[in-house]
Each structure stands twice: as C-alpha cells, then as structure tokens.
Amino acid sequence: MKTIKGPAVFLAQFIKDEPPFDTLDNLACWASGLGYSGVQIPCDPRLIDLATAAQSSDYCDDLRARLADAGVELSELSSHLQGQLVAVHPAYDILFDGFAPPQYRGDPAARLSWATDQLKLAAKASANLGLSAHATFSGALAWPYVYPWPQRPAGLIDEAFRELARRWTPILDAFGEAGIECAFEVHPGEDVHDGASWERFLDAVGEHPAARILFDPSHFVLQQLDYLDFIDRYHDRIACFHVKDAEFRPNGRSGVYGGYQDWSDRAGRFRSLGDGQVDFGAIFSKMAQYDFAGWAVLEWECAFKHPEDSALEGAEFIRRHIIRVTSTAFDDFAAAGGDDLKNRRILGL
C-alpha cells in the first residue's frame, strides 16, 4: 500500500502582481510557509518558460532546485487553459479567446495549433522535470447539447467525440512517448464531465494508456454524482487529485442548473475545505485502499472565504486527512503460520 503525497497547492488562482504572489520563487516560499510540501504549477509564462523546459534539462534542474530551496516539490504541471482550447465550440469562441495569446485570438485554427503545441511541450517539460502526471482539460465540442432538448440529431455526440479523439490522440501519443500520464479533470463545461462521458472519450481514443483522470470531488457534488463510486469504478485511471470542497443546497427556485445566478447564490457552489459537504475521510480512505501514490493538491475556488485564509486552513486540513498506510495487517499479532499439510488438517482432509 502507498501513502498519498502532500499537502500541495495549485498556484493558478493565487498569481498576482504583488509579492508574495508575483513570482514562482515567492509563491513557493509562501506555500512552504503555510505548511505545503508541494506546488502544482500552471503552464503560465509568469511561472515557467514551457518551451525552454521542454528543451533544457539544466533549466528544469534549476527550477526544481529553486523549489527545493523554498522547501517544496513540484507535484505536476497543469495546462487547463491550453487543454480547453484543444476543442472549442463556436458558441464559446469569444469567451475562450482570452485563454490564448493575443496573436492567436480571432483565429480558431491558429489557436488550436498553438494549444496543441503547448500540450506537446508540456509532455516534454514534465518528463524533464521528473514528473509522472500532468493535469489538463479535455475541451468541449458537444457541451451546448448536454441537455437533450432540442432533440439531438442521430450521431451528433458520436461525431463530437470522434473529433475530440482526432485532436487528442496525437497529444496523448506525445505524453505516452514522454512517459507522462495526461490527466483530464472531470469537470462541467468539458466534454469529459462525468463517468459516462469519460468512458465515451476513452473508447474514442482506443483506451489510450496515457489517458488518465484528475479527480476533483467538488464537481461531483454540483452534478449530484456519487464520487466514492466513481473512485471504485475508475481508480486505475486516476492520476491527479484536486482537494476541493462544495455544497449542494437546492430549493424551490434553483437546483443543479443554477438559474443563471452568480456563484454565491447558486444551490451548488464551491467552498473552502471543511465548509462544504464532501466526505473527505471516505475519499482519502478510498485513495489509500487503491494505492493512489500521487499528490493531494488544494485548489481554491470558494464563493465566500478569502483565498489566503483558505490556503492557510487547507494545508492542515489535507495533512490531517492523509492516511499513512500500514505495512502490516492489524491481526498479524495473532498469526498462526501454516503450510499445505497443516491447512489440509484444519480442513479435515
């Protein structure tokens, strides 16, 4: 059995222009000071030069050394924004254009090419950094049709997933060649947003061995999915773990769909660790049961609590939930020993 690594913190939501949130070195020291032992770094040019990391072992060795000097390790790189741009339905072109550099905006084909190249660089960079997994989004071509009204034409969703697979297979091949698992966050707004859509995607990419899952239970609460059963079903494909809480409190006005309300008014909303409804004790037990040896990574997305307070509380919350697995069975003290002859005698044979 294996013990989860952590606590780690995803830095994406904490980047600002002022210290200690303005540079990777400052963020690493800040995280370490709160009690984190790892950081998950978004592929953001303010924190990492992805092209250089993909080409230079010296650059990667220096980056890791800087983190070590601050007292943390690198858990994973993430490319959520780039992954989103691998598949964008035209209805979302303008909204997602901001995820790409200015020179690619307004040109979906150029934006897709840039995003694809970024993912392939991330695979090489992850290998040079000595990592085993990478976090991303699948993007979405079929999301506008998630609710089957108006009635969908026959074959529409099948074609959407075939196209998604055509775009992702070369990227997954690059991750496979680099020896890195590509973990898709199961997330509303992505074509991979629950177990059924994950199965459809995995089938479309031919059960690609590099295709993995980033498990975040908060998105299951908002969809009213059984996150513990999900672990039972797909544990062999889970490579990354975001520790994020959520609550779902429906009423006569609003439920899963949210009534177009802001996050603070929705029935389903993200919360800081311990303030929501996720049973993290059961989740960490499942992770220990299935030998998950990756990182437990805090992601802050709370409708109410200040991010710095959430980060401060989150490190201890995760540490308290990590199960240091046992190397012996609890009843070994009563072990009777045995051999084939003795076992046959016990059975009366």
Distances from the Cα of 308 to the Cα of 39, 44, 100, 249, angstroms: 15, 21, 28, 26
DSSP state of 276: S
The pLDDT, as a whole number, for residue 334 is 65
> pLDDT by residue for the chain (349 residues), tens digit each?
789 999 999 999 999 999 999 999 999 999 999 999 999 999 999 999 999 999 999 999 999 999 999 999 999 999 999 999 999 999 999 999 999 999 999 999 999 999 999 999 999 999 999 999 999 999 999 999 999 999 999 999 999 999 999 999 999 999 999 999 999 999 999 999 999 999 999 999 999 999 999 999 999 999 999 999 999 999 999 999 999 999 999 999 999 999 999 999 999 999 999 999 999 999 999 999 999 999 999 999 999 999 999 999 999 999 999 999 987 777 666 677 778 898 988 899 9
Contact between residue 228 and residue 238 where contact means Cβ atoms under 8 Å apart: no
Q: What is the 3-state secondary structure (H, E, C) of 175-208?
A: HHHHCCEEEEECCCCCCCCCHHHHHHHHHHCCCC
Strands (E) located in 260-349: 268-271, 295-298
Distance separating alpha carbons of residues 252 and 57, to the nearest angstrom: 57
What pairing do the DSSP bridges indicate for beta strands 238-243 and 268-271? unpaired
Distance separating alpha carbons of residues 32 and 1, to the nearest angstrom: 27
The pLDDT, as a whole number, for residue 71 is 98
Q: Delineate the domains of the chain, giving CATH numbers in brackets.
A: 5-346 (3.20.20.150)
* Lookup: tokens for 22: 């303005």
The pLDDT, as a whole number, for residue 111 is 98
